[in-house]
Amino acid sequence: MAWLFLKVLLVGVSFLGCLYPLVDFCFSGETRAPKPNFVIILADDMGWGDLGANWAETKDTANLDQMAAEGMRFVDFHAAASTCSPSRAALLTGRLGLRNGVTHNFAVTSVGGLPLNETTLAEVLKQAGYVTGMIGKWHLGHHSSYHPNFRGFDYYFGIPYSHDMGCTDSPGYNLPPCPACPRGEGPSRSPDRDCYTDVALPLYENLRIVEQPVNLSGLAHRYAEKATQFIQRASASGRPFLLYVGLAHMHVPLTRTQLSADPQGRAPYAAGLREMDGLVGQIKDGADRTAKGNTFLWFTVIVFRRAGGSL
């Protein structure tokens, strides 16, 4: 009896980005390989040089650099769009914005979202018996049937749109700085700020708002915790799973988590890179502990900048 074992580790780059799968395929005439799990991690607004795998001077992405060294890098792998909603719509439908109807970002005031006649990857895999989860930034419609739970995802934990589209408990760094939510009575909009401040940014778990305004400084930790829990529970169920993680990193405002003062302004960005890299590492470790032999882990990014290093 002849057996063929193929181990694949992928790190993909969409202008900048990383995809890391670890899958053992077993092919034979008598045994059918189990359905693979999929973990898709999408980062926001990174530059080519933000990964040490691409720019030797960058020292803040140890986990992603290791994935790149062990896996496969796609250095000419292009995102479908350079903005939030269109890129996410294309990722989940496999269709460009001119075909799926999403060519611009959805706003806080948008009542629609990804057209309901579009089929998402989550819906396809759910029909194939997969457990499906989404952690992080959605930005494809937050009202009614446009919510992730109605677009193929069994579980959702995250924010409905970008975290500069509403005031928060911990605004973080931005240029100009995004203001905190107002306390008490008084006008909420500041004309010299670039953030929406009329609405406090909510944090959802499925259809329920669990925090509003969201505390950005603890959000990465909560994402890692929820992603790990989802992987564990899905693996325990015996069913294959899809986990889609839409990171807030490196979109502004950058959080103030463990940041040190730096007169040149580089420390907040470097700290954000380290936080994002640690979050990806925790998700990878969670997948390795429970489903290492049968999981594709893909890290990719919407590239906003070509510049290397820190802002």
Order across the sheet with 4-9: list the strands.
4-9, 22-27, 294-308, 37-49, 241-246, 131-136, 155-158, 203-205, 208-211
Is 167 noted as a catalytic residue in this protein?
no
Q: Does residue 139 contact residue 123 with C-beta atoms inside 8 Å? A: no
Is 84 noted as a catalytic residue in this protein?
yes
Nearest CA among 298, 309, 283 for reference residue 73: 298
Separation of CA 186 from chain center: 35
Q: Which of 18, 26, 78, 139 is catalytic?
A: 139
Strand partners, 242: 38, 132
Residue 299 gets which letter from DSSP? E
Q: Which of 18, 26, 78, 84 is catalytic?
A: 84
Q: Do the bridges between strand 208-211 and strand 241-246 make them parallel or antiparallel, or are there none, so unpaired?
A: unpaired
Strand partners, 8: 23
Strand partners, 4: 27
Beta-carbon contacts of residue 136 (< 8 Å; ≥ 6 apart): 157, 158, 159, 223, 245, 246, 247, 248
Beta-carbon contacts of residue 158 (< 8 Å; ≥ 6 apart): 134, 135, 136, 137, 138, 148, 203, 204, 223, 246
What number of CA atoms fall less than 13 Å from residue 92's CA on the CB side? Answer: 34
The two counts, helices (H) then strands (E), for the chain are: 6, 9
Point out the residues that are catalytic.
84, 139
